[in-house]
Structures are given as structure tokens and as C-alpha cells.
Structure 1
Amino acid sequence: MTSSESGSVYVVATPIGNMGDMGARAIETLAAVDCIYAEDTRQTHKLLQHFAIHSTVYQLHKHNEAAQKHAIAKQLDVGKSIAIVSDAGTPLIADPGYVTIAHLRALGHQIFVVPGCSSVVAALSISGLPSDTFQFAGFIPSKPKQRQTFLQHYQHVQQTTVFFETPHRIAACLADCLAIFGSERQLFIGRELSKQFEESTLLPLADATDWLTAHDKRQKGEFVLALAPADTTAEADWQTLARLMVDNGISSKTTATVVSSYTGAAKKTVYAFVLSLTR
């Protein structure tokens, strides 16, 4: 960080479990800024103490972000430099902060990234699943009905999908995945990535519950899941829906939009199929 960059925001990635993964530039930035905004100040203080950083830390979470974004803007207006961090990994990825960044962008403030760890990319890189295209769907809902509805949206998606799940819900989540996606769909399970007891596996959903329950420790820690793309033969459902809509006089553009939104099929693929029906 240089003096010409004062009055700027730095979005700083931190380790996801191993302090050895903290980058030199991240340490330098957190030590140099006037203050740091963090979701959980207790967690961030542990990180700062480890690296002997004494910057002031304020809270930035979903309950106070609407007000804090204005406080941050005022600090920037008087030339202060700030950093935004999350509890672990890259900020704003399934964490608070985007409301603040969007507000500061609109005001024209300088925003810089100090890249580093991301559990999404870490999991994807070791999953053994296609990574040329993928999507991140965040945390899976906690309530059973909401979780099942949420997962059904990805039944026919033809790209790898990454999710976060918690230890006390992982068993129920795997059971729902089996029921919705079928026994042969491949699932990557990453547990405690980068930490001392890291484990990961890629297996058919038919075997997922057995793997989880093989050891008591496997139901502890943080989980990153990556669902394999749907088999192309699963397109039959959306094709039937698309054909029905076309037969009822609905436009190609509307059909593609609705079918893609409802089934998760790629919009371009649906549109091409619809055009083939109307030729």
C-alpha cells in the first residue's frame, strides 16, 4: 500500500484454516490501513494477534451494514484507508459486504483487492469435477422443505455447482441430495479444507452417507460440497416442458427464459432446442 492509495478500500482475503496461507501483501495491508471492518471482530482479533497487527477493528455484518456503509464512506472522504475482511477466506463470498462495496462504487471511491484463499476455488481445484464452467450457490437452506426446494433447482444443471453446508445439517443434506439427484450423481465432499484434519472425497451419492458416518469426526467441521453436472440424458424433463410451451403458442424467447429459470437448464441450450422445434 502506498501513500497515493490513502482513502481507499482494500478487500483482503484471509486464511480458511491455516495461518501459513496468509499472504505477505495481506499482512502488510492490514497493518497499514487506518481501520479494519470484520464480520466477527473476535475471529479477526485472533488473526491480527497472530501477525502482531494492531489496527482498529469495527464490525460489518448483515444487521448493521446499511448504517456502516455510510460511516465507511465518511472515513474515506477524510482520507482514511480501510480494509474489509471476513471470518475466513475471500470477503463478500456468501458473506456481508456487497451492499457496502456497491455503495462505495456508486460514490466513486477507489477499491482494491488483496486476493488469497477461497474455499470455493480450493474445493473446486481438488474435486476432480469439471471446472471450465461452474456456479457457486452459497449456503444450503436450513429448513427441510426449503432445502429440498432449493436443491431441486439444480437437478438438471449441466455445470459443477458448489455449496456450503454446516456440520449439524450435513447428514440430512446428503439424504435429500440422494433423493433428488439419484444414486449415481457424483458429489465432492470437502471437510475442514486446509486445516489439520482436512478430508475430501469424490463419490456417487449412493455412498455419501456411508462415507460420512464411517467416522464420528466426519460430522464435525465446515463442509464444501461440489455437485457434478447432470447427465445430458436428464434433459428430457425440460425438453418436454419446452415442447409443451411451444405447442401452446408461447414465444421462443419466453419459453427459453421460463424453462431455464424453472429447471436450471442452460438458457442458450433451451433456446436452440426451441428453435429446432419451430423450423
Structure 2
Amino acid sequence: MEPALYIVATPIGNLGDVSRRALEVLSGVSCIAAEDTRRTGQLLSGEGIKTPMLAYHEHSAPQVAEQLAARIAGGESIALVSDAGTPTISDPGYRLVRVMQDAGLKIVPLPGPCAAIVGLSGSGLPSDRFAFEGFLPNRGEARRRRLESLAHADATLIFYEAPHRIVATLEDLQSVMGDDREAAIARELTKSFETIRRAPLRELCDWVRDDANQSRGEIVLLLAPSKDERGAQLDPALGELLLGIAEHMPARKAAKLVAGYSGLPTRQLYDFLLQHRAG
């Protein structure tokens, strides 16, 4: 194969989701850089592929990436795979991609499974705009602060969450976002016990809390966009402060300044100024 780093997406559950092109690449490259060689080995064994593997993961030394770049520069081809899904998505593989790019080497990304996108497609939540937020902080206080910063997001938010934290995270979401904010949980996607449910946070939280089975397996958590992203009501004192500052500088600059002070989105504050001027 042409010397390059091939970014190969692998199934997130159902092995039937592996693409023909992915199998061709995995069987044709010089070696496979795998996040977990044991897990990737199961996929390869099932397909009769005997390509050599080496480990590349979060704890790999920088020299490993440099060695892989040297091999490609010498004419070899290497495939990058993660435990499951698309490499570099909530995955340290992006560092390897950067090393290859900086060395002027070719990158060939292959399309394929990604739990975040699969969950979004089946969630019933708006998909015209979305943001992938990965894993939230482990600790409650840090997690709530992060959620507070996202409360007014005008896009569907997508998170990955560990089973042992899902109830606590849903409770924090309910506390920060309110009982009626719509959300969805997508669990064990493409597997035998796949579950997708959309509901207000109050209902979703009660359902997961009351059914231990919903705290098992791989989980994608999705949150509907805020309904107040344009012209949302501001605290009167904050609104007066913003209007006062905007008398001495451009509206966008004033909105950015107050956003840094209040934690609210710049766009929300800018829209407030525009609506006030229009009124």
C-alpha cells in the first residue's frame, strides 16, 4: 500500500459494521498501531487478518510516534485503530496524526462507526448543530461547573459517560439545566441490549435511577439545545451593566467583555444588545 498513516474506524459493537475498505487496509498495511492490541486482535482474528500490531495509546512515549513516522518515511504503511469507533475522537490518536503532518507524511482517514454520531442519529434531538464534549469531569463540583458553562449552548451536546457515573451526571444535569430540558441516553449501541430513550431530564433521571440495567455498558448522553440562546432574558442588573458598557464601545466587544465576567455566551449577550437597539 502507499506509504501513509491510515486512520481506520472499527465497530463499536456489532462486528458486521466493519467496512470492506477497512478490512482491505487492515490486511494490506505493514503494521497496525492499536490502542488495545488484545481487543483489536479479536477483530483481526475473526476476519483472518494476520497483520502485525504494536501498541499506541495514551501512555505511549513520544518516541513511539516518531518511530512510526520514520517507518512511514521509509516506505511502510501503518493503520491507526482505537478500541472501538473512529480513532482520534475522544482518543489520543490525534497526537500521532500531528506528528505525521509535521513530518510531511500522508494521512488517509477512512469513514466508519462513531458512537457519538450513531447516538445523535437515533436520539430524536436536533442535529443541524451539535457539539461533542467527550467525558465530563469525574468530580461533582467540577462537573457542575462545566455544565453551568454549557447551560445556554445553542446546539445539541453529546457526552460519553461511564456507567458508574451516569446517575450522578444525570442528577447534575437536572439540577443545572432544569427538570424539563430534553435529553437522550443511547446505551450499548449496535449491541444486543441497545437502548435509546429521549425524555425530559426529570423523567430520564428517574428512569435510569430506578432501572439498574441502564447503568451498564457503553453510554452516550445527549442534551437538547437551550431554548433561550437568542434574546434570552438576562438578570436585570446584568442587562443594565451590558447596556452601559455598550455605550462606550462596539456591541460585539461589549458582549465579549461581559461574557468573560458573567460566564454567559457572547452570542446571547450580543443578541440582547441587538434586540434592545431594534426595540
Q: TM-score, normalised by structure 1?
A: 0.90
Q: How does 1:22-101 map to 2 (within 5 A)?
A: 22-64=18-60, 66-101=62-97
Alignment partners' CA distance in 2, 1:243 and 1:37? 56
Range that drifts further, 233-242 or 158-167:
233-242
Counterpart residue type for residue 65 of structure 2: K
Counterpart residue number, 1:221: 217
Q: Given the superposition, is the C-alpha separation of residues 272 and 57 from structure 1 closer, same or farther in structure 2, using an over 3 Å criterion?
A: same
Alignment partners' CA distance in 2, 1:98 and 1:219? 30
Counterpart residue number, 1:255: 254
Alignment partners' CA distance in 2, 1:179 and 1:92? 32
Q: Given the superposition, is the C-alpha separation of residues 214 and 272 from structure 1 closer, same or farther in structure 2, using an over 3 Å criterion?
A: closer
CA contact (8 A) 2:232 2:268 kept: no
Alignment partners' CA distance in 1, 2:163 and 2:124? 23
Q: Given the superposition, is the C-alpha separation of residues 54 and 258 from structure 1 closer, same or farther in structure 2, using an over 3 Å criterion?
A: farther
Counterpart residue type for residue 233 of structure 2: A
Alignment partners' CA distance in 1, 2:252 and 2:211? 50
Q: Given the superposition, is the C-alpha separation of residues 209 and 84 from structure 1 closer, same or farther in structure 2, using an over 3 Å criterion?
A: same
What is the aligned counterpart of 1:235 among 222, 229, 232? 232
Counterpart residue number, 1:143: 139
Counterpart residue type for residue 13 of structure 2: G
Gaps of 5+ in 2: none
Counterpart residue number, 1:120: 116
Counterpart residue type for residue 37 of structure 2: T
C-alpha RMSD of matched pairs (Å): 2.2
| Alignment length (residue pairs) | 274
Counterpart residue number, 1:189: 185
**Deviation for aligned residue 1:215:** 2.7
CA contact (8 A) 1:156 1:263 kept: no
Is 1:274–2:273 an aligned residue pair?
Answer: yes
Alignment partners' CA distance in 2, 1:50 and 1:259? 57
Is 1:212–2:208 an aligned residue pair?
Answer: yes
Q: Given the superposition, is the C-alpha separation of residues 241 and 48 from structure 1 closer, same or farther in structure 2, using an over 3 Å criterion?
A: farther
- For residue 153 of structure 1, give the secondary structure of its aligned residue in structure 2: helix
Range that drifts further, 231-240 or 197-206:
231-240
Counterpart residue type for residue 35 of structure 2: E
Q: Given the superposition, is the C-alpha separation of residues 243 and 56 from structure 1 closer, same or farther in structure 2, using an over 3 Å criterion?
A: farther
Counterpart residue number, 1:177: 173
Counterpart residue type for residue 88 of structure 1: A
Q: Given the superposition, is the C-alpha separation of residues 143 and 118 from structure 1 closer, same or farther in structure 2, using an over 3 Å criterion?
A: same
What is the aligned counterpart of 1:167 among 138, 163, 169? 163
Gaps of 5+ in 1: none
Q: Given the superposition, is the C-alpha separation of residues 237 and 221 from structure 1 closer, same or farther in structure 2, using an over 3 Å criterion?
A: farther
Deviations 1:186-224 (A, max 9, x none): 011011011110001000011112211343221111110
CA contact (8 A) 2:130 2:156 kept: yes
Alignment partners' CA distance in 1, 2:72 and 2:127? 38
